[in-house]
Structure 1
Amino acid sequence: MAFEPFMQIFRGLQGKRSNVALGDIQNAQQLAFLRNLQKEVNQEDSLSIPLEKLNVVVFDIETTGFSPEKGDGIISIGATKMCGAKIQEEEVFYSLVHYGKEIPQEIVQLTGITDEQVKEAAPLSEVLINFLQFKESSTLVAHHATHERNFMQHASSKLFRTPFKHRIVDTSFLFKVIEPKIDLIKLEDLCAHNNIPIVGRHHALSDAKMTAKLWSIYLEKAEQIGCENLHDVYNRFSRI
């Protein structure tokens, strides 16, 4: 089924910016399309692909808090593609996400995202479909990925009634393998440590681009110490 006609039908089902659950989708072909987007990536293959050939999508989300189960939500997603250590500058994704409640003032100040900006944005269900289309078969990468993983799992379960099965590689695995004594956690601190300019902090796409630069630096260093694939990275990490 062509993607754009599907999205036209999907938007029609959305009503007034309400999130669509699977029970609202009557057409079996549409349902199959959604589930196909969420199909499990062959994790064994992603672990064994040579690092210089590994396709990844480095992404970041901005949220209204830290607890999706308590009602906090995603308000933007940004991402950039990479092949090995090479950042594909033109292959980027960014979207605001409709949020049906008032954004806490501290989040507005932190991210610059206002209620007015997200008022007419696409609902999360649509943004996630677009994001998975952008991702294709690439492996996901995020900076200290627990936050992204929790929100993605919650959204997938709530909106599509299916687990989020896509692997998300945590950048900290690479940092710890290369610099096991490093005691830096924040993205801006690691960027400063590696002489990466800090631009647009807490903007999802800007953060994704800075994370991609970190991934590029540490991926090359991992190759220099003999890591050929993610299997090798995880094995070294387990011995730290």
Structure 2
Amino acid sequence: MQKDLENLINLLASKSINYYDFITKAKHINEINSLIEVKSFTMWQTLGLPIIKLDNGKVTLKTRETSIDEAIFCVVDIETSGGIKDGQIIEIGAVKFQNGKILDKFQSFAKAKSIPENIVELTGITLDDLKDAPALSSVIEKFKIFLSDSVFVAHNAKFDYNFISITSKNLGLGPLLNRAICTINLARRTISAEKYGLSSLKELLGINNAHHRALNDAISACEILKVCLKNLPWNVQSVEDLIEFSKNAKTVKIITPKG
């Protein structure tokens, strides 16, 4: 994401700004101008940014005003055939979550030409599993419709978010602009544990399902999110409060077992 775009989104996440100022700043962001008409809030929302115009004419993000209980979180996990430079997404799993309940699920393989043996061993996904899978472009397009402008959540969110965003951009579908939360960061501030990897937290919290498959891992991350949200301090009320808390609040004291 270009620095100017990142700065604009951070500004909107912190306060409302004049419509004219928003348009002026947005028009200087080439990455966005080449994709959408910056005056169209619907187009921004299609890219995942929950932008709104207030009754006073100012522009902001609805996540500033949306309570955590009202928010829709999309908890995501991907399996890939390698890194972003030498691999591709081969499976996406996601669950939409609101106020303690799962609203909907998304799961799809994506066609690939090859899968390294170590990835087959790790995930159990083979080329035979992908033989009838839809093209990656179709999977990303359908996933983005499912995601909409909900809050993107993942365990190690930077990896999943950036991989999907770069893939989407390379396919001509535009980057992701959704607000995002990492459950590793959030867990470090709400759950006392020795390790914060997905398998470690699953064991600590008694979450039992298969590991290294996208939908199962998304469901596991959703269960971790539930625990994190129950442990929030009272002053974390809105989605933007939650994002800020997940990044900058003090981490909890780690309890090391004796013996």
- Normalised-by-shorter TM-score class: 0.7 to 0.9
Q: In structure 1, how many angstroms separate the alpha carbons of the residues matched to 2:73 and 2:244?
A: 20
Number of equivalent positions: 200
Partner in structure 2 of residue 93 of structure 1: 106
Quick check: 1:87–1:213 contact (8 Å CA) kept in 2? no
Deviations for 1:146-192, whole angstroms, at most 9, x for unmatched residues? Answer: 1112211221221016332222321123212214x644232111111
1:187 aligns with 2:198: yes
Partner in structure 2 of residue 134 of structure 1: 146
Runs of 5+ consecutive residues of structure 2 not aligned to the other structure: 1-41, 52-59, 251-259
Query: After superposition, where does 1:203-222 map in structure 2 within 5 Å?
Result: 203-222=213-232
1:190 and 1:238, CA in 2 relative to 1: closer, same or farther beyond 3 A? same
Equivalent residue of 1:53, what SS? Answer: coil
1:148 and 1:64, CA in 2 relative to 1: closer, same or farther beyond 3 A? same
Quick check: 2:188–2:196 contact (8 Å CA) kept in 1? no
Q: In structure 2, how many angstroms separate the alpha carbons of the residues matched to 1:173 and 1:225?
A: 18
1:109 and 1:154, CA in 2 relative to 1: closer, same or farther beyond 3 A? same
Q: In structure 2, how many angstroms separate the alpha carbons of the residues matched to 1:47 and 1:213?
A: 24
Match of 2:180 among 157, 164, 168: 168
Partner in structure 2 of residue 45 of structure 1: 62
Runs of 5+ consecutive residues of structure 1 not aligned to the other structure: 1-32
Q: In structure 2, how many angstroms separate the alpha carbons of the residues matched to 1:230 and 1:34?
A: 22
Quick check: 1:173–1:233 contact (8 Å CA) kept in 2? no
Partner in structure 2 of residue 68 of structure 1: 84
Q: In structure 2, how many angstroms separate the alpha carbons of the residues matched to 1:144 and 1:107?
A: 18
Q: Structure with the greater relative contact order (CA < 8 A, sep ≥ 6): 1 or 2?
A: 1
Amino acid at match of 1:154: I
Q: Please identify which structure carries the higher helix content.
A: 1
Structure 1 residue 230: Cα displacement = 3.0
Q: In structure 2, how many angstroms separate the alpha carbons of the residues matched to 1:137 and 1:239?
A: 25
Structure 1 residue 34: Cα displacement = 9.5
Structure 1 residue 225: Cα displacement = 4.0
Amino acid at match of 2:68: L
Quick check: 2:46–2:149 contact (8 Å CA) kept in 1? no
1:161 and 1:85, CA in 2 relative to 1: closer, same or farther beyond 3 A? closer
Give the TM-score normalised by the residue count of structure 2. Answer: 0.70
Partner in structure 2 of residue 16 of structure 1: none
